[in-house]
A and B are shown apart, each in its own frame.
Chain A
């Protein structure tokens, strides 16, 4: 294992210290392990709170700031945070109008956030939960834990965060978050595995000419292993899966993200985006807004995820609203 760390045991604490030192707009509580806005709660406004295992940076801490999250709870690498963290975040971020938990659909995240919602409720904080489950690689059936939450998390946090910033009430903020999730689909392909600092070994092994199709964001194996393909074929395979699950007609508007999993350079993401744009153009489906970059990563895994949100006018307007966070900033 070759990593830029001091010790596998202190990766999270050391990284949080770095986040604190780098971003004066954030307040990092190293004891409670929460990241909040330096300005404190917004009185009378709903606070959006998210969290999950670490190793997906900039998600979630990099999205804390005006127009997006109010607080983030980072767990150990690839391990969901604990209820105490989420409760501390709710107490620190609640401006009196309640909090929305944005939860990626993984058993651990769901269980811990459920417990935290109970604790926060006992504390007099109103909680609504938005569950993100956009990964079409997983069949949503009684035979699985349901679809994983992946790229759509970024869209949910941006759009619901914008509505919260405008002063909407708890039910409305949660409702737009759920609508964005329902309108979004993702699919990912890995070209190399990743290694958690604690395990020291990759989660799976891939030969030079192989790729892992339908992966999540935790270094776990995907749905199938295939021979490596050119970018255009990987893009077509991924978008075919997305379009098969949610058909999009000519003239419809979308927000599209080509996201690097951590070990793929931007030049390759742009290669992929060219193929994405061509795929959409051939079908007459509009990409109204896009993101190309590393937004929800899986440590040093090479590969990309593709997320498509079928966006309505309200979603696009909220997408364009000002946002000022370490990882996403415009109009501010």
Chain B
């Protein structure tokens, strides 16, 4: 993945959040406070503006800028969590191009940052339920010698499955946890937006 593709990825995330804003907000109104779609759209719109005219030296710079902007613009839990994911990922990628193995290691650092901040583990009904299986699939593909496009396709599929698998879970983190067992039966909005991010990556890298 080169700098141009990284920019395209982030811009495509913005377009995806714009397109899926109402769906994310609808999921969030069932078990949260009905603002996830709006917040993600507002955040990535700000990211696109921040990247305009920005001259990154490496792939990582684009992602660090993305993360920093999300932290300053989004608020809520999603701002710091996604902001940290992109910042921690970006800090690992210093070159103008990143291969599948470098990306896998960087994404792992991103997830570690998210889990350190939010203290969520697999099964808590959060974005981690999409991110963790996505990165596992991405890493396995990279270790098997697949290119980043194939790895991203597998990651996207795993993230989507992970997001769907949050439906029967009872939330243990975030605002949905206040509902207790009433959070069961609803798909987690954070896991859903995380799956969108990886689906977008797969589309951008598709040869």
Closest chain A residue, CB of each to CB of B79: A82
- Contacting B at CB under 8 A, from A99-141, are 106-108, 111-112, 114-115, 137-139
Contact A82 B75 (CB under 8 A): yes
B contacts, CB < 8 Å to A: 25, 29, 31-35, 38-39, 42, 71-81, 117-118, 170, 172-175, 177-180, 182
By a CB distance below 8 angstroms, the chain B residues around A201 are 29, 34
Contact call A107/B174, Cβ cutoff below 8 A: yes
A62 at the interface (CB under 8 A from B): no
Closest chain B residue to A225 by CB distance? B182
Complexed CA–CA distance, A138 and B174 (Å): 12
Q: Are A144 and B34 in contact (CB under 8 A)?
A: no
4 shortest interchain CB distances as A-B pairs: A108-B76, A144-B177, A108-B77, A218-B33
Q: Which of A84, A114, A145 contacts B174 (CB 8 A)?
A: A145
Contact of B72 among A53, A79, A82, A148 (CB under 8 A): A82
Residue A66 CB within 8 A of the other chain: no
- A223–B72 CA distance with the chains assembled, in angstroms: 33
| Known A-B contacts A111-B81, A115-B71, A144-B178; A79 and B25 likewise in contact (beta carbons under 8 Å) | no
Interface residue stretch chosen among A70-78, A286-294, A318-326? A70-78
A107 with B34: in contact, given A82-B71, A143-B172, A201-B29 (CB under 8 Å)? Answer: no
**In the docked arrangement, what's the CA distance between A131 and B178, Å?**
17
With a cutoff of 8 Å between Cβ atoms, the chain B residues found around residue A83 in the complex are 71-72, 80
Q: How far is the CA of A82 from the CA of B117 in the complex (A)?
A: 15
A138 engages B71 (CB within 8 Å): no
B75, B118, B173, B180 — most chain A CB neighbours (10 Å): B75
Interface of A is mostly: loop
B119 to chain A, nearest CB (A): 9
Excluding A108-B75, A115-B80, A199-B38, 6 further A-B contacts by CB distance (< 8 Å) are A83-B71, A83-B80, A107-B173, A142-B172, A144-B172, A196-B34
Contact partners of A79 in chain B: CB under 8 A: 33, 35, 39, 74-76
Given that A106-B175, A107-B118, A221-B179 are contacting pairs, would A196 and B33 also be in contact in the complex, using a CB cutoff of 8 Å? yes
What residue of chain B has the Cβ atom nearest to residue A77's Cβ? B35
In the complex the two chains form, is A78's CB within 8 Å of B33's CB? yes
Contact of A145 with B79 in the complex, beta carbons under 8 Å? no
- Residues of B within 8 Å of A108, CB to CB, are 75-80
* Chain A contacts to B: CB under 8 angstroms: 53, 75-84, 106-108, 111-112, 114-115, 137-139, 142-145, 148, 196, 198-199, 201, 203-204, 216, 218-221, 223
Closest residue of chain B to A81 (Cβ to Cβ) is: B75
A111–B120 Cα gap in the complex (Å)?
13
Contacts of A138 in B (CB 8 A): 177-178
What residue in chain A is nearest B126 (Cβ atoms)? A107
State whether A199 touches B180 (Cβ < 8 A): no
- Choose among B33, B72, B173 the residue that contacts A203 (Cβ–Cβ < 8 A): B33
When the two chains form their complex, are residues B180 and A219 in contact, meaning their CB atoms are under 8 A apart? no
Docked-complex contact A84 and B72, CB < 8 angstroms? yes
Task: Report A-chain residues with C-beta under 8 Å of the C-beta of B173.
Answer: 107, 145
In contact, A76 and B174 (Cβ under 8 angstroms):
no
Whole-angstrom CA separation of A145 from B76 in the bound complex: 14
Q: Which of B33, B81, B117 contacts A220 (CB 8 A)?
A: B33
In the complex, chain B residues whose CB is within 8 Å of the CB of A198 = 25, 34-35, 38
CA distance A192 to B177 in the complex (A): 22
A223/B180 contact (C-beta < 8 A), A79-B75, A112-B79 known? yes
The listed residue with most B CB atoms (<10 A of its CB), out of A78, A143, A144, is A144
Q: What are 26 contact pairs spanning A and B, CB under 8 A?
A: A76-B39, A76-B75, A79-B39, A80-B77, A82-B72, A82-B74, A84-B72, A108-B76, A111-B79, A111-B117, A112-B75, A112-B79, A143-B172, A144-B177, A145-B173, A196-B33, A198-B25, A199-B34, A201-B34, A203-B29, A203-B34, A219-B33, A219-B34, A220-B31, A223-B178, A223-B179
B74: which A residues are within 8 A, CB to CB?
A: 79, 82
Minimum distance in angstroms from B94 CB to a CB of chain A: 24
Residues in A neighbouring B170, C-beta threshold 8 A:
143
Known: A196-B33, A198-B35. A143 touches B177 (CB 8 A): yes
The reply to whether A199 and B25 contact each other, CB–CB distance below 8 Å, is: yes
